[in-house]
Amino acid sequence: MQKRQMWWTLIVLLCAEAESNVVSVLERAPRPQIRVAKLFGWQPLDAQQLLLWTGKEEVWRMYVAAGCDTLLKVRSIVVTTSEGHIVAGKDKIYLGTKSCLIVKMTEPDSILKRRYGKARHGFVAALATSTTFQINKHMWSVG
């Protein structure tokens, strides 16, 4: 009888572990869009990935299109939004005069969340609507 109970305990533990792994994977599934009202900063990870804080403890891992090599060279970014949402495949991150299309957004894994508990000091992120930013950018380049 004791052996049977050990087996059931083992099965329950394995099922619980499998469930937590599934939840972890689902949490990091790509999001087509995220709602945003304010940005709290950002942190470059490499030439095509960054962490973007949309709340004091709400952070997103952003992936930008290939060829965007300026992430590691700037401290200020502007992120465009579409009706209060950042939309993958539509919105961009502006790094000075260069823009990078956001191709994917996920929640960062627990390792990244622990490593980067908050946005890096001095790395500023601002929001702009896609339309307004294009108009203002055009006006700046003309003037």
Domain boundaries, the chain: 1-28, 31-142
Residue 101 pairs in a beta bridge with 92
pLDDT given for residue 136 in this prediction: 54
Contact status, residue 63 vs residue 79, Cβ threshold 8 Å = no
- At position 141, the amino acid (one-letter code) is S
Query: Could you tell me which of 99, 94, 93, 102 has the C-alpha nearest to residue 33?
Result: 102
Query: Could you tell me which of 63, 92, 66 has the C-alpha nearest to residue 77?
Result: 92
> Which helix (DSSP H) or strand (DSSP E) does residue 4 occupy?
helix 2-27
Contact status, residue 60 vs residue 117, Cβ threshold 8 Å = no
**Share above pLDDT 70 across residues of the chain, in percent, rounded to a whole number:** 78
Q: Whole-model pTM?
A: 0.74
Alpha-carbon distance values, 130 to 14, 34, 99 (Å): 47, 15, 12
pLDDT tens readout for residues 30-82: 999 999 999 999 999 999 999 999 998 899 999 999 988 888 999 999 999 99
Q: What is the largest CA-CA distance in the chain?
A: 85
- Under the banding of pLDDT at 50, 70 and 90, the label for residue 141 is very low
